[in-house]
Chains A and B, each alone.
Chain A
Amino acid sequence: MTTERPPAPGRGLALGRALVDRSTWLLPLAVVAGAAVLGALRGAGAAILVLAGGALLGVIALLWRALQVLLGESPLSLEAALDLSAATAADEQKQAVLRALKDLEYERGLGKLSDEDYRELAARYRAEAKAVMRSIDDSLGPARLRAERLIEDRLGQKAAEKPKKKKKRAAAADAPAADGATAAPAADADAPSPAAPDEDVPAEPAAEASPADAPGPAEAAAVTKAGEPRDVDAPAAAAAAPALVVPPAAAEAAAPPAEPRDEKPAEAGASAPAEAKAACPACSTRNDADAAFCKACGARMRPAPAASPEP
Chain B
Amino acid sequence: MWQTLPEFGTGVLYAILVAAALTMAVSIVAGRTGRPRYLESARLGAYGTIGLVGLAVLLLAYAFVTHDFRLRYVAHTSDRSMPTAFLITALWGGQDGSLLWWLFLMSLYTGACVAWMKGKYRELQPYVIATLMSVTMFFGVLMLFAANPFWTVTSGARFDGQGMNPLLQNFYMIIHPPSLYMGFVGCAVPFAFAMAALVTGRLDNEWIAAVRKWMLFAWMFLSIGNGLGMIWAYEELGWGGYWAWDPVENGACLPWFTASAYLHSTMTQERRGMLKVWNVSLICLTFFLTIFGTFLTRSGLISSVHSFAQSGIGTYFVYFMGIVLGVCAGLIVYRLPRLRSEGQIESIASREAAFVLNNWARLGIAVFIAVATVFPKISELWGEEITVGPPFFNRWIVPFGLVIFALMGAGTLFGWRKTSEKALWRAFAVPLAATALAVVLHFAIGPGLGFHPIVASGRLYPGALGEILRALGAVLPAVSIALCAFNLAVIVQEYVRGVNARRRAHPDEGLATALVRLVAKARRRYGGYIVHAGIVLMFFGFTGQSWNVDKETALKPGESYVVGDYKLTYNGSRMEVDPAKRMVFADLSVERGGQPYGTVSPAKFIYRRMPESPTTEVAMMHSLRDDLYVVVGVVNPETKNATFQIHINPLVAWIWMGLIVLIAGSVVAMWPELQLQEAGAWRYVRALGSVTFSMLIGLMLAMTPARAFAQDGTSSLHAGAVEMRTQAERDIFPQLRCTCGTCGRLPLSNCACSYADQNRAEVRKYIETGLSTEQILEQYANSYGANHIAIPPNRGKLKAIWVVPLAVIASGAAGAALLLRSWKKNAALASAGNAPAAPAERDEYDRRLDEELKRLDDD
**What is the interface of chain A, defined by CB distance below 8 A to chain B?**
43-45, 48-49, 51-52, 55-56, 58-59, 62-63, 65-67, 69-70, 72, 76, 80-87, 89, 92-93, 95-96, 98-104, 106-107, 109-114, 117, 120-121, 123-124, 126-127, 129-130, 133-134, 189-190, 192, 195, 200-204, 206-207, 225, 279, 284-286
Contacts and interface: CB of A to CB of B under 8 A. Distances in A.
Contact of B55 (A52, A93, A127, A284): A52
B420 A51 contact: no
Given A106-B501, A114-B420, A206 B36 contact: no
B621 interface: no
Contacts of A190: 678
6 contacts: A44-B84, A49-B62, A87-B120, A121-B418, A127-B840, A130-B845
Dominant secondary structure at the A interface: helix
A126 B846 contact: yes
A265 B542 CA distance: 65
Interface residues of B, number: 80
B74 to A, nearest CB: 13
B516 interface: no
B58 A52 contact: yes
Nearest to B59: A52
A67 B41 contact: yes
A4 B34 CA distance: 23
Interface string B12-41: 000000010001001000000111111111
Nearest to B121: A86
A204 B423 CA distance: 47
B47 to A, nearest CB: 5
A112 B423 contact: yes
A240 to B, nearest CB: 13
A112 B419 contact: yes
Contacts of A189: 677-678
Contact of A93 (B44, B204, B427): B204
Nearest to A225: B34
- Looking at A66, A96, A279, which has the most chain B CB atoms within 10 Å of its CB? A66
B271 interface: yes
B44 A113 contact: no
B834 interface: yes
B826 interface: no
A117 B62 CA distance: 67
Given A62-B51, A112-B419, A130 B271 contact: no
A123 B837 contact: yes
Interface stretch (B314-322, B582-590, B851-859): B851-859
A112 B415 contact: yes
A51 B120 contact: no
Contacts of A87: 120
Interface of B: 19, 23, 26, 33-42, 44-45, 47-48, 51-52, 54-55, 58-59, 61-62, 65-66, 84, 118-123, 202, 204-206, 209, 270-273, 346, 414-420, 422-423, 426-427, 494, 497-498, 501-502, 504-505, 522, 677-678, 834, 837, 839-840, 843-849, 852-853, 856-857
B205 A133 contact: no
Contact of A96 (B61, B66, B270, B849): B270
Nearest to A71: B41
Contacts, number: 192
Contacts of A45: 62, 65-66
Given A63-B45, A200-B37, 12 more contacts: A51-B58, A66-B48, A84-B39, A84-B122, A106-B522, A110-B501, A117-B418, A121-B417, A123-B837, A124-B837, A203-B122, A225-B33
Nearest to A63: B48
B7 to A, nearest CB: 15
A203 B120 contact: no
Contacts of B26: 66, 70
Q: Which has the most chain B C-beta neighbours within 10 Å: A51, A59, A201?
A: A59
B40 A69 contact: yes
B267 to A, nearest CB: 10
Contacts of B417: 104, 113, 117, 121
A103 B271 CA distance: 9
Contact of B52 (A48, A49, A59, A279): A59
A134 B845 contact: yes
B509 to A, nearest CB: 14
A99 B271 contact: yes
Given A124-B834, A206-B122, A195 B857 contact: no
Contact of A98 (B45, B48, B55, B853): B853
Given A84-B39, A110-B501, A200-B35, A284 B847 contact: yes
